[in-house]
Amino acid sequence: MNIVLGVAGGIAAYKVCHVVRLLKEQGHSVRVVPTEAALKFVGAPTWEALSGQPVATDVFDHVEEVQHVNVGHSADLVIVAPATADLLARARAGMGNDMLAATLLVATCPVVYVPAMHTQMWQHPATQDNVATLRARGAHVMEPASGRLTGTDSGPGRLPEPADIVEYALSQVEGLPSTALAGTATALADTQVFISAGGTREPLDPVRYLGNRSSGKQGVALAQVALDMGANVTVCAANVANDVLEPIRGRATIVPVETTEELHEQCVAHGEESELIIMAAAVADYRPAEIAEHKMKKSGDEGMTLSLVQNPDILKDLVARFGDTKTIVGFAAETGSDESTPESLAQQKLLRKGCRALVFNSVAQGAVFGDDATSVIVYERDGDDVRERVRASGTKQEVSRVVMESVAQLLPS
């Protein structure tokens, strides 16, 4: 397949080098068309070496070949990554003031934009209007990832991982052989998937609560991958920040909750209609026996004694209700103990809960919570035995891809 890879002038251009490599490894012909600004981040020799084809940025380059028309005409797919706010605006306006813009004007094949920019640029009404217009015209605009941006800022606007870009882009080409799609783009087609994300909070009074440090990033990343694999996804979000949820907003059904009891109620309500249930939320095991009506005050030099009662075991209850008809996957964030390793505690939890599989990650010294990277082991239960299915390390998006591909294989054929 002939693929044109447009590169706009953003610092994320360096990650697109790996997109070229992945496409070439799958046997595609790749022609890189950068803007002049893009060459300030990654030079023409790099693009030519990776793609094996010449690079042109101006409509007056190689005029005798009429490149500003022929490159777009010969393309089976156009990918623009990163698609900056400026590039999206020029594409929406139909400008043809450089080689990439002209190529977009003449291309009749699927066009995929992969935005990457600062959060405020992405959320600006002008950019959102440009994206909506391009989509209305038939273009495909991939949602940006959420995470660390240039400098100290964090939020939606980060370029998705190269493997995710490739899979999303190739999935937009009708009739493309399944071997070129890496076999995952429709692995969960029309499957009803329920995912819990975040961490529950148990109020002590109108101000304070008992909670944990889960950000919900892993659950949201799992939802993104499930959506890309064709699933219908519901996410029960326990105290997940808006910027974390942004990548799935409008694509998944989001149900906000606060407490463990609220989460339990929604899990039961949505579990009946779901074929795959993934419990990624960090759930409080206990809640205060009483919630103070007013903010609690210090009294002298005395400490405070809290009376706690046990919360329902949501995962175990879901297994009891739906374990015979649904594929249920638990999560275990373990620190280990003096007597047991984190891995052994996770395996014990899998047998104790009775779910089909369990995703384990170590959180010793606060690792993983709120980070963009993680490392997991997926365990599978076979009666009273536990076996390791797969290990994965990398960004939470990359790990989610491995987890979802493994879990999809557990669903009834």
Q: What residues are annotated to the active site? A: 212
Nearest to 185 by CA among 176, 193, 195, 194: 176
Q: How far apart are CA 343 and CA 194, in angstroms?
A: 26
Do 103 and 33 touch, CB atoms closer than 8 A?
A: yes
Per the structure block, which two tokens stand in for 278?
């993934």
Residues paired with residue 146 on neighbouring β-strands, in sequence order: 156
What does the alpha-carbon distance between residue 290 and residue 306 come to, in Å, rounded to a whole number? 9
Q: Provide the 8-state DSSP code for 390.
A: E
Give how far Cα 20 sits from Cα of 58, 82, 112, 171, 241, Å.
21, 13, 15, 16, 34
At 367, list the tokens: 């690792």
First vs last Cα of the chain: how many Å apart? 31
Yes or no: say if 246 and 266 are a contact pair by the CB < 8 Å rule.
no
Please, are residues 287 and 308 in contact by the beta-carbon 8 Å criterion?
Answer: yes
* Neighbour tally for 58: CB within 10 Å: 15
3-state secondary structure of 83: strand
The radius of gyration of the chain's CA atoms, rounded to the nearest angstrom, is 24
DSSP 331: E
Strand order across the 385-395 sheet: 253-257, 232-238, 192-198, 276-279, 327-334, 357-362, 373-382, 385-395
Nearest Cα residue to 85 out of 18, 17, 25, 8: 8
Beta-bridge partner residues of 373: 395
- What span, in angstroms and rounded, lies between the C-alpha atoms of 73 and 91? 17
Query: Are 239 and 198 contacting, i.e. CB atoms less than 8 angstroms apart?
Result: yes
Asked if residue 355 lies in contact with residue 315, where contact means CB atoms within 8 angstroms, the answer is: yes
Please state the residue numbers annotated as binding site for CTP.
285, 295, 312-315, 331, 349, 353
Which amino acid, 237?
A
Binding residues: 285, 295, 312-315, 331, 349, 353
Angle, nearest 10°, between helix axes 217-228 and 396-408?
Answer: 50
